Each structure stands twice: as C-alpha cells, then as structure tokens.
Amino acid sequence: MSDFARSRLGLTGSVFAAVARWLDALRGSTGCFFTFHRGAPGEIWSGLPNRNFYLDLAFLDSLLSHLKASGRNIVTVEEGRRLAADSTTSEQFVNFSIDDCYRDTYELVLPVFRRHGVPVTLFVTTGIPDATLPLYWAGLEDILRSQDTIVLGGKVIDIRAMDQKAWAYQALQTLWDGPMLDAHYRHFCSENGIDEEQIFMRHAITWDMLSELARDPLVEIGSHTVAHRRISTLSPEAAWHEMADSRQRLREKLGVPANHFAFPYGRMNDCGPRDFAIAREVGYESAGTTTKGLLRAGPVPYAYPRITLNGAHRNILVPEFHLSGASSIAAKVLGRV
C-alpha cells in the first residue's frame, strides 16, 4: 500500500482498517455497489491515452485487501440485494461489477479477485463475444498507444509524447461521437494501415473465456445489452430487444440465469421509469444504474445505484469517501446524477 494513501497519511494498514470499521459502526448498515470497465498493470496504466477507464491492478489489489481488513463483506449483486433488504443485519457489504467485459477481464482482472477469494459480477455486452459490436474506442486507444505518428485527413501528426496521445484520444472521441462513428473509425484505420479485425481480437472477450468464467463459483454474470446502446433513446421495442436478446444469448451460450441487468451509461438521462419497467417485463430481478448512492437496510429499489471507480483516483481515501455517502451527497448538490 506504500504507493497509495496509507503511506501518505502515515497510517499502518491495520490502523486504517480499524478507523474504517469504527466509521461503519457509526453509519449503520450500508451497501455499496462499485463498477468499473477495465484493468491494467501499473507500468502500462500510466501510458494509456484513456487511462481513467482502467483500474490500476495494484490499486485494485490494495483496495480489496483494505476492504477485507476493515470487515466489509464483498458479495454478488444477488447477495447484496438480499442483505440490503434485511433490516436485522448490521453487515457492511460491497459489490464490484465489471461492465462490458473485455479480454483483460479474463486475463488480468479476474485473477486479482481469485487471489483474494472474493466474488465479482460481470455485466456482459453480448455484441463483444459475438463480434457484432466494433470496439471503436479500444481500437483508437490501441492505435494511438502503439504509434509515434498518425495520419489524419492526409496530414501526419506527431503523437510521441504521452500528453499528445491523450489529447488525440479526447479530440477524436469528441469529433467522432455520433451517427458517423463507424465511418470515421473505418476511414481512420484505412488511412493508417490498421487491421481492424486484429485489433478487435486483441481486446474482445470470447465465449470460450466467458464459459470458463461462468463455471467459477466466484463469478456472477448479468447482462449489459447487446450493443451498448443508450436505452432511453430507443423505441420501446428496440429497448426491449437490447435487454431481452442479451439475456437470452447469455442463457443459451453460458447456461446462466442472467437475472440481473446494468444499464449502459446509466445516469438519469440514460435510463428512467419506462426503461425500468421494460427490464422488469423482460424478467430481470434488478437493474443497475450509475447514479451515485448507497443502499441502506430496508426496502431495496429495483433500479439501484452503482458508483463508478475512476482509474485516476488511486487512493484508498476515494473509495472510503464513496462508502461514507459523501460522494452521493456531492453529486446531488452538483446535479451530477
């Protein structure tokens, strides 16, 4: 933990964990659902153009150690919702879910949870293992990270420096976002002599990988749509198919119940009462959002809050800030819900 908050505060791991347990006792029973997308080793993380999208695996390892030492129970969505509904328990619990699911979920992230012997929930976007969903942003990042120059509109642009790569990623993401994304990406790959299929295979999780994970008792698998579309923008029929077809595909390929769903993007403008009703109709037992919040003991909302972990915040104090409920209050005050 010396790279992170504990050394900076001059606190030993045991003292830090004891403080967390004391604060939990004051707050009463709470549950927190964390979510993130990708993971990378520290030596690679610092050189990623979109590194906030990734958790540093060393930090994840430290966070899991801290949560266990501080007495938090790390659980599945299924168990977390059961605990939250039990008003007689004083147990503090945390769930981790990984949205989308890329190859690094299988190769890099799951081994960290296995080392700690704690469960994790995978919300799978089925278009990834089905190879029907192009991984535009993963592809763009891969290209920028591996090249010293790129060609854009016939002009050669120097991107040797890390800040140049990060700038190029943000600029192109902003420029391409919209209905012409596919055309922009394919033209960019063609202009730079990039094999799209090869890049896709470097990042996509496969059904064989997911089948292995589905047999792991530490892994819970839920749905994250077929094509990662913003559900609130779709017609009721299209929204139903995104939710129902992905669940059916997971059941067919993996033999899992896929009882839980997580909305892509997941903030208030991305999903609402109509979409929650469709999720119920499809048969999901719960629907995860990305509005910040904790679950207190008592009635459990069907659409529950999840807190996204930003990869840049490699400090144990940040998850503790979330676990205290302070980030949820701040988000409401600032209108970031």
pLDDT of residue 14: 56
On whether the CB atoms of residues 36 and 99 are closer than 8 A, the answer is yes
pLDDT of residue 266: 96
Contacts 24+ apart (CB under 8 A), 153-161: 154/191
Distance CA(26)–CA(75), nearest Å, equals 22
Domain boundary among 200, 218, 241: 200
CATH number of the domain bearing residue 252? 3.20.20.370
| Per-residue pLDDT tens digits of the chain, which is 337 residues long | 434 444 444 445 555 555 545 455 445 558 999 999 999 999 999 999 999 999 999 999 999 999 999 999 999 999 999 999 988 877 899 999 999 999 999 999 999 999 999 999 999 999 999 999 999 999 999 999 999 999 999 999 999 999 999 999 999 999 999 999 999 999 999 999 999 999 999 999 999 999 999 999 999 999 999 999 999 999 999 999 999 999 999 999 999 999 999 999 999 999 999 999 999 999 999 999 999 999 987 789 999 999 999 999 999 999 999 998 888 888 777 766 6
> Quick one: 253 and 174 in the same domain?
no
> Quick one: 188 and 296 in the same domain?
no
Domain boundary among 200, 223, 252: 200
Domain boundary among 175, 200, 225: 200
pLDDT of residue 299: 83
pLDDT of residue 16: 52
pLDDT of residue 6: 43
pLDDT of residue 329: 82
Strands of the chain, DSSP E: 30-36, 38-40, 54-56, 73-75, 93-100, 120-124, 149-152, 155-158, 219-223, 260-262, 286-288, 295-296, 303-304, 307-308
> Quick one: 25 and 151 in the same domain?
no
> Quick one: 141 and 93 in the same domain?
no
Q: Which domain holds residue 182?
A: 136-200
Quote the tokens at residue 131: 């190879």
> Quick one: 290 and 169 in the same domain?
no
DSSP 154-200: TEEEE--SHHHHHHHHHHHHHHH-STTHHHHHHHHHHHTT--HHHHH
Q: State the pTM of this model.
A: 0.91
> Quick one: 116 and 171 in the same domain?
no
Quote the tokens at residue 23: 């604060």
Q: How is residue 289 annotated by DSSP?
A: -
pLDDT of residue 332: 77
Number of folded domains that form the chain:
2
Distance CA(292)–CA(304), nearest Å, equals 9
pLDDT of residue 2: 39
> Quick one: 152 and 284 in the same domain?
no
> Quick one: 174 and 31 in the same domain?
no
pLDDT of residue 324: 87
pLDDT of residue 13: 53
> Quick one: 13 and 54 in the same domain?
yes
> Quick one: 173 and 289 in the same domain?
no
On whether the CB atoms of residues 45 and 61 are closer than 8 A, the answer is no
What are the phi and psi torsion angles at 29 (to 5°)?
Answer: -65, 125
> Quick one: 215 and 325 in the same domain?
yes
> Quick one: 91 and 222 in the same domain?
yes
